[in-house]
């Protein structure tokens, strides 16, 4: 029988960090110092090696070759957020030849021990304070210009083994529209196994999708979000195993 998790809304946090209200320090710097780069190279390098082994055993990838269509330029990847541990390492495995930077909540900093390593492992902390947005935006632009990969989980909150696609905002597509950068989609699906209750993980890669430059900026974001959502929903429908069952609490609205 599947484990049951309850929720009030599809935007709920069902896996919470020790301090969900953690904020980025006021003097935080996104543009790294030389000392930060040295530490980041060590942490990221170790994480990358672990990802190759861990994901080789645990993960099956379909269509990874589509990334070749973005050769010589930076790009964005959007994925469904269903693995608290695996979603950290999966992008490193899938985008093997590229350095991956993942947008992350400041709440991750409150996780004991590992939380401190998030920025060094490629986590780009998303600010809540308006005065920090300028530096954050500059960092995203720099990463794409340097031909890196920016990974975004637009559902924001992780729901382990969830087989649907939750709502996300068109605002999450501001950056590829602004930078006229290609977008790829990764969708984790869960398939039945005959010998184990825990399902097989199969990750599908689709794209590239491009902003429609003939549309106004807001409609450009909405159109891109619609393409990504449609792709994720189609791939998620391939799941045929329910390892965790999600039930909405009575008397609540989606």
Domain segments of the chain: what residues? 30-158+185-243
More confident residue, 240 or 119: 240
Q: Encode 208-234: b = buried (16+ Cβ within 10 Å), e = exposed.
A: bbebeeeeeeeebbbbbbebbbebbee
Kindly give, in sequence order, each residue whose CB lies less than 8 Å from that of residue 196, ignoring residues fewer than 6 positions away. none
Considering the chain, what is the average pLDDT of its residues? 90
More confident residue, 24 or 239: 239
- Residue 19 pLDDT exceeds 70: no
- Among candidate residues 154, 176, 150, the one with its CA nearest the CA of residue 165: 154
- Residue 244 pLDDT exceeds 80: yes
- Residue 214 pLDDT exceeds 70: yes
Say what percent of the chain tops pLDDT 90: 69
**What is the rounded distance in angstroms from the CA atom of residue 245 to the CA atom of residue 229?**
22
Identify the pLDDT of residue 148: 96
Identify the pLDDT of residue 18: 59
Identify the pLDDT of residue 187: 98
- Residue 147 pLDDT exceeds 90: yes
**Contact (Cβ atoms closer than 8 angstroms) between residue 186 and residue 204:** yes
Identify the pLDDT of residue 24: 83
Which of 9-23, 75-89, 150-164 is the least confident region? 9-23
Does the predicted model carry a pTM greater than 0.85?
Answer: yes
- Whole-angstrom CA distances from 174 to 36, 117, 135, 220 are 28, 27, 16, 9
Identify the pLDDT of residue 160: 95
- Residue 254 pLDDT exceeds 70: no
- Residue 146 pLDDT exceeds 70: yes
Q: What are the phi and psi torsion angles at 136 (to 5°)?
A: -60, -45
Identify the pLDDT of residue 32: 79
Identify the pLDDT of residue 116: 82
- Residue 22 pLDDT exceeds 80: no
Identify the pLDDT of residue 21: 65
Say what percent of the chain tops pLDDT 70: 96
Tokens 């082994």: give the residue. Answer: 53
Identify the pLDDT of residue 58: 87
* Rounded mean pLDDT, 63-85: 94
Tokens 């939750």: give the residue. Answer: 166
Strand partners, 3: 244
Q: Where are the alpha helices (DSSP H) in the chain?
A: 34-58, 86-94, 133-145, 174-179, 217-236
Kindly give, in sequence order, each residue whose CB lies less than 8 Å from that of residue 175, ignoring residues fewer than 6 positions away. 76, 140, 144, 150, 181
Identify the pLDDT of residue 109: 76
């Amino acid at each position: 029988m599947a484990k049951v998790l309850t929720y009030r809304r599809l935007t709920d946090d069902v896996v919470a960090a020790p301090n969900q209200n953690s904020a980025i320090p006021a003097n935080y710097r996104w543009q790294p110092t030389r000392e930060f780069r040295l530490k980041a190279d060590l942490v990221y390098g170790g994480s990358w090696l672990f990802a190759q082994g861990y994901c080789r055993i645990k993960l099956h990838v379909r269509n990874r070759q589509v990334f070749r269509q973005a050769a010589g330029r930076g790009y964005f990847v959007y994925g469904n957020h269903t693995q608290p541990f695996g979603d950290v390492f999966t992008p490193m495995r899938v985008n093997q030849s590229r350095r991956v930077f993942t947008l992350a909540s400041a709440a991750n900093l409150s996780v004991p021990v590992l939380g401190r390593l998030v920025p060094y492992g490629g986590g780009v902390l998303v600010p809540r304070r308006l005065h920090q947005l300028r530096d954050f935006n500059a960092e995203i632009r720099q990463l794409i210009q340097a031909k890196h990969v920016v990974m975004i989980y637009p559902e924001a909150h992780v729901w382990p083994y969830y087989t649907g696609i939750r709502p996300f905002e068109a605002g999450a597509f501001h950056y590829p529209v602004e930078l006229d950068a290609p977008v790829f989609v990764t969708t984790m699906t869960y398939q039945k196994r005959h010998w184990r209750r825990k399902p097989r993980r199969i990750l599908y890669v689709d794209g590239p999708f491009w902003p429609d430059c003939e549309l106004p900026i807001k409609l450009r974001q909405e159109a891109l979000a619609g393409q990504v959502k449609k792709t994720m929903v189609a791939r998620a429908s391939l799941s045929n195993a329910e390892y965790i069952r999600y039930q909405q609490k009575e008397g609540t609205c989606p």
